[in-house]
Structure 1
């Protein structure tokens, strides 16, 4: 059992980037942190960062797309620590391709990691939180969960889906003392871009080649000026531990402005007008 009675946080996708720094920051704030990742042989960066911060994290293996493993992980945490007070659904993966370039298998892969994984884990922790009359489920989505973006069809589709699920769930769980929220980063300096799925033919010559070239150039500029993983993680930790409830959080002022454009866009023209310029012409 948890020897000191601190709140217990379960964080997914902690081998690098926002997840790594979120796990460390929550531990620094006094929570007992179970930090999960697909491959625990990659845990050195996390454990080194925790040591530098003077904290410890409990590293466990979890592939969020393996729902049997997710159940086993949650059951083990409850058996070992007695509770889960905070779930941070952070694990995710991007994909660069437009509809014709995507196989249905690639679309399903995005749904598995970005939608079904968080949904499955959320379902597993809700009974204990409901019975306790308290708890927080925070899902790290993206500004792409509110703003559809070119060549992110499958990724944004999955992020829109998980935001819709969580927003529908949120009002029900409030009556049971459980806070269900999403947090939407914009571009963040992390390994996310390196892990983006790109079908083999995405850069091939074809009807979308010039648009894709322009999009990739624009994206490179955005990530060159990205928010640091540490800053994004601090915002995630703030949202995960806040006693002031709201459903939707962002990690930066830029993310707030970008998401706000879509949420006020009742006919869709503002988003299409903004994103059309991303792909109209290739850079010189």
Structure 2
């Protein structure tokens, strides 16, 4: 990943939050950053931040819906044609969903899997031939919810669990052809993503039926937890560190809180400690 040709990174979901912060930080670190988003009409905040950082010439905005396989293939091919290489992919695009399957049905589960899991797999698959050529890397933003299943996040956590399993399985295979794989696991982050989910849940409470009381308890607890949330820039910092690292670890948590939260699961062999913890959120 050295040489005179500028390194190129593709980052998805860059209109707000972690993706926006990661795109600007990657450009500041000298990467030519292809920042993708479904609606490029929302690129104003990203480009304003890039100009403020003095890196607007290193940030290129492209449209991309990761659930559209043809668009993914075309976007990757276009980047390689324009820049001659692709050195890294940061899978950041995602969509939250709060609710429970009895009330919300299978369509919500499938929609969550499409953007949070299949979109990640599709982009990774399309990028791998070019990452093999450059000795590149795949960095995927999951969540502590990809390790610890959380109440009223069944669809979202299922998708993030799937991403974790996919990448953990892919990592040793990709390494044999010179491609490194890493997972970034944020905890609570202050962003429009979070605000939109809480707004949605407020509406959901009116149709929660037998789950109303426990959903309200969950919402109350979640709102309080954001008092110690990271900023998007803080959560994005490990992504840029991984881009520049000689050797990436498989997993990186973005805060001490996230490390402690994930560790509770990884040492809980029968699941009782995690169940006691998450059940207490519904009291």
TM class by smaller structure: over 0.9
Report deviation, 1:117: 0.4
Within the candidate set 252, 255, 261, 1:258 is matched to: 261
Q: Does 1:6 align with 2:9?
A: no
Q: Report how many residues are paired.
A: 276
Deviations 1:2-53 (A, max 9, x none): xx61110000000011100100000000000000001011100000000000
CA-based RMSD:
1.4
Structure 1 residue runs of 5 or longer lacking an equivalent are none
Q: In 1, are the aligned partners of 2:103 and 2:208 still within 8 Å (CA)?
A: no
- C-alpha separation between the residues in 2 aligned to 1:71 and 1:233? 26
Residue 189 of structure 2 aligns with which residue?
188
Q: Does 1:99 align with 2:112?
A: no
Aligned with 2:139: secondary structure? strand
Residue 108 of structure 1 aligns with which residue?
110
- C-alpha separation between the residues in 2 aligned to 1:205 and 1:51? 45
Q: In 2, are the aligned partners of 1:97 and 1:199 still within 8 Å (CA)?
A: no
Instruction: Out of 12-21 and 256-265, give the one that drifted further.
Output: 256-265
Residue 138 of structure 1 aligns with which residue?
139
Greater share of helix residues, 1 or 2?
2
Residue 231 of structure 2 aligns with which residue?
228
Report deviation, 1:195: 3.5
Residue 150 of structure 1 aligns with which residue?
151
Structure 2 residue runs of 5 or longer lacking an equivalent are none
Q: Does 1:173 align with 2:174?
A: yes
Report deviation, 1:201: 4.7
Residue 81 of structure 2 aligns with which residue?
79
Q: Does 1:207 align with 2:210?
A: yes
Residue 277 of structure 2 aligns with which residue?
274
- C-alpha separation between the residues in 2 aligned to 1:235 and 1:48? 22
Within the candidate set 69, 72, 76, 1:70 is matched to: 72
Residue 92 of structure 2 aligns with which residue?
90
Residue 46 of structure 2 aligns with which residue?
46
